[in-house]
A and B are shown apart, each in its own frame.
Chain A
Amino acid sequence: MNMVSKLKLRSRKQWLGVLFVFPWIAGFLIFTLYPLVTTIIYSFSTVRFKLEGVSITYENVKNFTDVLFKDPEFKLALPKYLVQIFYFVPMVLVFSILLSLLLNNNLKGRSFFRALFFLPVIIISGPVVENLQTMGAASLQGLGSFPVYRFIHESIPDFIAAPVLYVFDNAIMILWYTGVQTLIFLSAMQKIDRSIYEASMVDGASSWQLFWKIIIPTIKPFIFLNSIYTIVDVSMSTMNPIIIEIKNAMFNIKKGFGFAAAASWIYFFIILLTVLISYFLFGRERK
């Protein structure tokens, strides 16, 4: 008797759980996973759209070899993208940590500044960014003539100078990408109990030590979260060179949808690789 009622209760609870996830799973399967699987089939074939429907002829790995070895545009877009990922993403993270440290101070007008620095969220996802960039508003104009800039450009070896100059050139774009990330870091920093700071200051910790020993370990899971978010954000942006290339290929008669699908899957694995790198840097939890 007792066993039966226990079982009943348990399965009822499980059903409640299923009820909670069901809408998401259903939507996800129909509108995301199924289309994804379909693109796998497309990527191995030539796809033609006819009046009576889609015709698919199996082509083996031809699309993939085309993307990797034959297509000149993909080859050009890839290094551009990699530069963007390896310079841009870390800079966005650093900037957003710095901004959230500043905003975590008990300043007067703090809520105004917080609102201001969250503002890029509505800008970066809108259509204006492209206009701004073509106008040159996204880079600091006349920067090239500054003595510091010229000094870095001329007298420091290229492999050090390149990232520094990249930051100078893209400073404003980096700032515009920090909206969500700053917010996430800020809400993580707010969770740190004030008494921890006090205790460590009594023990003689400097604010530099506070930052490295208390703030960074606390926000570490969020660094990982933000690094994934930024990688995805940058990679999926409509201004991304590879996205532009894939979109063009879709409506190009010579390349077609099979080519675009293959390119998307190759791109997917590149993004996955960068995410794995950031996992090894920030994601592993200390036992």
Chain B
Amino acid sequence: MRYQGTKINPTRYDRSQLKFFIILSVLGVFMVLPIIYIISTAFKPMEELFAYPPRFFVRKPTFDNFRKLFEVVQSSGIPLSRYIFNSIMSSLTMVLTSVVISSMAAYILSKKKFRTKNLLFEINTLALMFVPAAVQIPRYLIIEKLGLIDTFAALVLPLLAMPVNVFLIKQFIDQVPNSLIESAYMDGANDFFVLFKIVMPIIMPALVTVAILAFQTSWNTPDPSSYYINDDAKKTFAFFMSAITTRISGNTVQGQGIASAASLILFIPNIVIYIIMQNKVINTMAYSGIK
């Protein structure tokens, strides 16, 4: 290696890095595997979907599954755009409110001193460990009592309560140096300013991670639509996709192909959001503002 001055790592490609490239590439292949699988399954013709032993890659790709899916979509009364609109609205609302609410709470829990602080955080951490499926029925009863059945709020509110968000964000805010916040107070900043202009930019990787996770839960789950919404026009895309695949699953052979096409369509927004956001994660990775 040539002389590097005060640096340890070389700035450009160096032969000594080859081993890292090899390891990372080999492991990287496994990371893209599921995505390739989703794409290739969606284009599989019927006989390949049920081939035994199952094949990973598609041999004779067709658009059959998509054609059948659109036939089913057209025969249902409500236009597809309606479901997609509902999904986008509820997911976006959910992501934004969840990030803001969680970081506000996490900021207070991390940086302020008050009596019930530790107790609150411990209850939150314990709530992490409780089986989400088991609270479904009491949660339904609450939604019913609050009169939220068949409202947009029922799609968002029950999902907002994600203890894992507060947990993750709080751990990151703990690492923000107190002196940074104090110096901001000295300069006359209030808590809103400190949180939104100082703390949140520093913990951006955590916030984006939480945002991606929140989007995932909201976009992929058909549960709120199937539990709390009776009106078909208010249901989400994820529900619609799971409904048409189960409705046809009386005819499982038919349903399998449609399901694979549907899961590809359902998956695309995930990857789009990911590509948009991951850049933010990686570029703003932890600069502390203080040396």
CB within 8 Å of B: which residues of A? Answer: 13-14, 16-17, 20-21, 23-25, 27-28, 30-36, 38-39, 42, 49, 54, 99, 102-103, 105-108, 111, 113-123, 125-129, 131-132, 135-137, 172, 175-176, 180, 183-184, 186-188, 190-191, 193-194, 197-198, 201, 221-222, 225, 228-229, 231-232, 235-236, 243, 246-247, 250, 257, 260-261, 264, 267-268, 271-272, 275
Contact = CB atoms under 8 A, between A and B. Distances in A.
17 contacts: A20-B107, A25-B105, A27-B101, A31-B139, A34-B138, A42-B138, A102-B23, A114-B278, A116-B32, A119-B274, A121-B212, A121-B216, A135-B56, A176-B34, A191-B175, A194-B8, A250-B134
Interface of B: 6-13, 17, 20-21, 23-24, 27-28, 30-35, 37-38, 41, 54, 56, 101-102, 104-105, 107-109, 112, 114, 120, 123-139, 141-142, 146, 157-158, 160-161, 163-164, 166-168, 171, 174-175, 190-192, 195, 205-206, 209, 212-213, 216-217, 220, 263, 267, 270-271, 274-275, 278-279, 281-283, 285-286, 288, 291
Contacts of A128: 34, 37-38, 263, 267
Given A106-B9, A121-B274, A197-B8, 9 more contacts: A34-B138, A125-B213, A137-B37, A186-B285, A188-B286, A228-B167, A243-B133, A260-B134, A267-B131
A113 B195 CA distance: 31
Contact of B220 (A35, A99, A126, A235): A126
Contact of A243 (B8, B28, B131): B131
B281 A183 contact: yes
A169 to B, nearest CB: 14
A115 B278 contact: yes
Contacts of B283: 111
Contacts of B114: 14, 17
A18 to B, nearest CB: 9
A106 B129 contact: no
A23 B134 contact: no
B220 A264 contact: no
Contacts, number: 240
B166 to A, nearest CB: 7
A126 B216 contact: yes
Indicate the member of B105, B127, B137 with the most A CB atoms within 10 Å.
B137
A105 B9 contact: yes
A262 B28 CA distance: 42
Nearest to A192: B286
Contacts of A221: 171, 174-175
B130 A27 contact: no
Contacts of B213: 121, 125, 180
| Interface SS, B side | helix
Nearest to B170: A225
A21 B217 CA distance: 23
Contact of B37 (A33, A132, A197, A229): A132
Contacts of B31: 116-117, 119-120, 175-176
A122 B215 CA distance: 10
Nearest to A257: B137
A159 to B, nearest CB: 28
A116 B126 CA distance: 32
